Every structure is written in C-alpha cells, then in structure tokens.
Amino acid sequence: MSKNYKNLKNLSEKYISDIYDNKVVIKVQTGTSGQAVGADEVLKTLQAKNSNEINVLEVGSMGLMYLEPMVVVSLPSKDKIYYANVTENIASEIYDHYSSKKTIYKQNAFAYESNSSLDVDFPNINDLPQFSNQLRIATRNFGDITPGDIYQYINNEGYSALDKALFEMSPEEVVEEVKNSGLRGRGGAAFPTGVKWSFLAPNKAATKYVLCNCEEGDPGAYNDKGILETDPHTLVEGLILNGYATNSNKSYVFIRQGHDIPINAIERAIKEAYDNGILGENILGSNFSFDMEVSLTGDSYVAGEETALMEAIEGKRSTPRFKPPFPAASGLWKKPTNINNVKTISYVPEIIKNGSEWFKGTGTEKSTGTAIVCLSGHINRPGMYEIPMGMTINDVLENIGGGSNSETDIKMLQTGGPLGGVLGKEAFSTKIDFDEMAKSGAILGSGGIIVCDDSVSVVDLIRNLVAFNQFESCGKCFPCRLGNTHMYDVLDRLCNSKSEPNDLALLERIGNSMKIGSLCGHGQLGYNPISSSLKYFQSEISDSINNISEPLEKMLIPTRTRPNNLE
C-alpha cells in the first residue's frame, strides 16, 4: 500500500467513524427512480430534524425500484432495517421512533440484515429471492454509500485496485489481467475488453484518449446511468486503470445532457478525485498522470455509436465515421482512442483487486462475470439486478422479477434495446449469455428486458420499435434513413389491416438492404426486431396480412409528403 493511499484510508476511517460510531444512520435512496416517487421530499423531511444520535445520508438506489422510495436504518448494533414505499409522514415517524426508542419500528419494514435473528415478522434480506439471486460486483456499493463521496468509497476498498496497479503491476500486466478475465464489452457488441485495450496500448503517440460511453438511449435500459448516479467513483477508478494500462493521458465521460442526477454525481466524483490526488499529476505519488472530464451531447441515440460519439465530443453533428481508420489508430481529434461502456469499465477495479481467475469463477466459459439487467413492463418487481451470467431468462423473470403483474401470462420479451430482438416463451429457457442469446434471435445488449403480457400485440410492439429507430436515424446513409421509414410504413399498414400479401417479403428485402448498405449498427441491425418476432410469432404476424389492399407497386412510394422545394 502506497503512503498516499494509506493516508487516504486513515482519513476515510475517521470520516466513517464520525458518521457511524454509536449513531443511528438513516439512508435515503435518491436515485432517479426514487426521486420520481418522492425520495427528495423524504430526504428533506429527515434532514429538517435534528438529533445528535441520528445521522441522515443520501445514497443511491439498491435497484429494487418497485419499492421506492426506500429508506435503510443502520443501527449501532450493525443491524439494518429496510423500509419500502416510505412517505414523508412515515419517514418522520421512523426518525422520531429511533430518536427515543431502542426497539424496531415495523411499519413499512420489509426486510432486515443481521448476523443473528431479530424478533421481527419480516425476512432477512438475504433470504429474498430478488436479492439472494444477485451477485453484486459492479453494483457492490449500491444503496450503501453517498454518490461521489470519495471517503465512503475508499472505506469500502475503493481505489485499492488503482494503488495495486500503479505500484505493483506494469501497464502490460494490467492489460493481460483484463484480457485473461474474459471480460467482454457490456455495451452491446460484447467484444473482449482486454483485446480492445491491447490495440491501443502499443501505440507510442504522445496523446491518447480513453472514452466512456454513457449515452444509453435504449428504452428499457438504465444501468449505465444507475452506476453513475449511485457509485460514480467505481467508474472513475476503472477509467484511470484503463488509462494506465493503455499509456493514455486523458478521459472523457460521454453522457446525454439533461440527465442531471448522474451528471452531477460523476462531476462531484471527478472533482473529489482531483482534490485527493487521484486525478491529475503524479496520481497517488506515482509517475502516472491522468485527466478526466465530462462531455455532454444533445438528444441523439446514434451518438452512442463510438465514432459518432467522437464527432459529438469534437463539437460536430453526431454521425458515424467511415472505418478504417479505426479509433485505436485515429480516433478523437485523430489521436489513438479507446471507447468502452460504463458497465464494462466498472468491473475493472474488482478484476484488478481480486484477479482474473476470481472473475472467471463466475458466469459461463465464454461470458464470464455478471450481467446487469433492467426489468420493466408487465413484471411484479421491476428494477435493476446484477446476476451471474448463465442464469436462465425464466429464472430472472420468476425468481427475481416475481412473474407477471397482470392476470395474463408473460407472452414475450423485448431485449437488447430497439435494435435487439423479441423473444417468445420458447426462448425463456435461454441462458443470460452473449452467445446463447444471439442464437435465440436476440441480444443481451445493454441489459434492458421489457416484459409484455398477452394483451400486447407483437405487431404493435415492433412498429413502435421501428418508429423509434426511424426517428433516431441520423440520416447520413440512405439505406438506414429510407429503410426505417419504409419498414415503419409497412408495419403501420399491418396494424391498421391495410396490408399487402407480399408485405413480409418486402420487409425482409428492405431489412437485408439496410444490413448490407448501412454505415453503422443503427441501420445494420434495424431489421432485428422484425426477424426475431417472425421466429416466435409468425402466425400472429401473418394474421395481420389481408388481401384487400392496393397494388404492390404503391407500397414502394413513401407516405410522407415531400418538402415543397423538391416538388
């Protein structure tokens, strides 16, 4: 342990002692999901009170979003009591109770955490399937620490991996450790992370960049911003390790403007890292220097494509670049560049701290580690969960998600974002694994799983997905720009019982043209929702076809009115 890191550890221990010793600590989870249902008001209610025996902390979400607003009471005995759906009045009663009594306040309590049994009528949180089936690596600090508070992060062994790398490992050894771990990109492509780093590391350029992609525009996915707003220092540490391993000197965290909660959290974390010698010149007293800042983009889904992301940082319109050259040779401002997703980078500190073999001990042979999945839609327990790779989709839906929240069964899933796939019941036995899900006709992508019951029409669903893709196309290449428009028009006819007998063949022809001719994945993958739906719901989609319509030739004419200056 370096001298500088040891000093930070000592400061953090004193800091934590002042918060917890002989005190009741009430933690309010104020992530985006919590704030949406009143967590801010709960926090203000508690902060307005004043007791020398109670401290109130703002922390990030645990991911159990169906229970928001959540409050956790940590007792001097180290026992914890978890409260769900807390209102301002209940929060006030919780505070007043623990100010004057040693007993447990039971209203709205749903779980406890203790090394011994408590005399309560609610379960230990480790016995709840939605918690016990998780393996929290990237989300290890969720619901426990204040976002961006560096001393709370360090007290939980934060930056110990960075200290180890800087003083005990060479950059080459860090790359090899990440490579040997089998970590694959969690942004959708699932490319081996260590291999990607090895493309950049040997480049001798004086200026090199590592970028973090937090554009995250997929409907149904919110885990990247969940990490930023809950435990941003784990991303900061991972990015510094990325920079050290690839001999880079600058990083940008790329995020869409307007997402103030994660933006404020990561900006606070970066500032505290600079203030404590973890960013800037000679980090922790080493010979390595590294800088970091946040870069904001407008509302552009395509900005999440790695070359469009670089265009946005340079102040240009977010459109993909032609490749080659690839970013590792010529990227941001024509300098060698590496781009990774938030989740991918957030695994790196634990891999370096515990070793690649430890990480490979979880998951499957080709998909090591864990997956962070976001459940939404017709499901009893919507939220964000970190699960071991290899768990089946059905286990996730039933044991973690609690099954359908309606009177009908789960009919289908939309996974991997709007460019992903639609899965029917036959695929629910598929393992959460990059390759297994690809074989089933879908992708894991960024981890979003939208659950649909029997009331949802598959044709309506894929029309909505294609409509999103049409709206978000940057328009740079015509196969994507026109292809999405044509596919939407065909699907709209299907939804309104005005289809042609050859509509499915037309959709396939358009989709294949997009796959071959589009510049980036937005167009190349645009037919995925339709092709995967046909695999599981061929009969339902075919039932939408009727023979009372106009001639086939008219299907090729766009329904939108052309601008006057083109007429």
Domain segments of the chain as ranges: 20-128, 158-360, 370-456, 459-566
Same fold across 370-456 and 459-566: no
From residue 544, alpha-carbon distances to 274, 426, 458, 493, 553 in Å are: 59, 22, 10, 9, 20
Q: How far apart are CA 200 and CA 336, in angstroms?
A: 7
Distance, CA of 248 to CA of 331 (rounded, Å): 13
- Amino acid found at 315: G
Phi first, then psi: give them for residue 43, nearest 5 degrees: -60, -45
Q: Which helix (H) or strand (E) holds 162?
A: helix 160-168
- Alpha-carbon distances, residue 477 vs 70, 188, 315, 318, 507 (angstroms): 46, 22, 20, 13, 19
Query: What's the first-to-final CA gap in the chain, in angstroms?
Result: 72
Say yes or no: domain 370-456 is CATH 3.40.50.40: no
Strands 80-83 and 109-113 turn out to be: antiparallel
Helices (H), 477-527: 478-495, 503-517, 521-524
Q: Which residues pair with 329 in a beta bridge?
A: none
DSSP string spanning 260-292?
Answer: HHHHHHHHHHHHHHHHTTSSBSSGGGSS--BEE
Q: CB within 8 A of 106, min separation 6: which ones?
A: 120, 121, 122
Pair of tokens at residue 29: 């989870």
Contact 443, 534 (CB under 8 A): no
Q: Does domain 158-360 have CATH number 3.20.20.80?
A: no
β-pair partners for 294: 253
Report pLDDT for 116: 78
Report the top-level CATH class of 459-566: mainly alpha
Distance CA 440, CA 430 (A): 7
Do the Cβ atoms of 289 and 279 come closer than 8 Å? Answer: no
> Which residue's structure tokens are 């480049």?
203
Q: What is the pLDDT of residue 154?
A: 98
* pLDDT value of position 289: 98
| DSSP class of 28 | E
pLDDT score for 198: 97
Asked whether the bond before 129 is cis by omega within 30 degrees of 0, the reply is no
CATH class of 20-128: alpha beta
In sequence order, the 6+-apart residues with CB closer than 8 A to the CB of 405 are 378, 379, 380
Residue 183: predicted pLDDT: 97
Q: Is 187 exposed, middle or buried (0-12, 13-18, 19+ CB in 10 A)?
A: buried
Cα separation of 141 and 346, whole Å? 12
- How many CB atoms sit inside 10 A of residue 100's CB? 8
Q: What integer pLDDT is reported at residue 546 of this predicted model?
A: 58
pTM for the whole structure:
0.93
Residue pLDDT tens, the chain, 567 long: 899 999 999 999 999 999 999 999 999 999 999 999 999 999 999 999 988 899 999 999 999 999 999 999 999 989 999 999 999 999 999 999 999 888 999 999 999 998 777 888 999 999 999 999 999 999 999 999 999 999 999 999 999 999 999 999 999 999 999 999 999 999 878 899 999 999 999 999 999 999 999 988 888 899 999 999 999 999 999 999 999 999 999 999 999 988 899 999 999 999 999 999 999 999 999 999 999 999 998 888 899 999 999 999 999 999 999 999 999 999 999 999 999 999 999 999 999 999 999 999 999 999 999 999 999 999 999 999 999 999 999 999 999 999 999 999 999 999 988 999 999 999 999 999 999 999 998 888 889 999 999 999 999 999 999 999 999 999 999 999 999 999 999 999 988 888 888 899 999 999 999 999 999 999 999 999 999 999 999 989 888 775 434 443 443 334 433 333 333
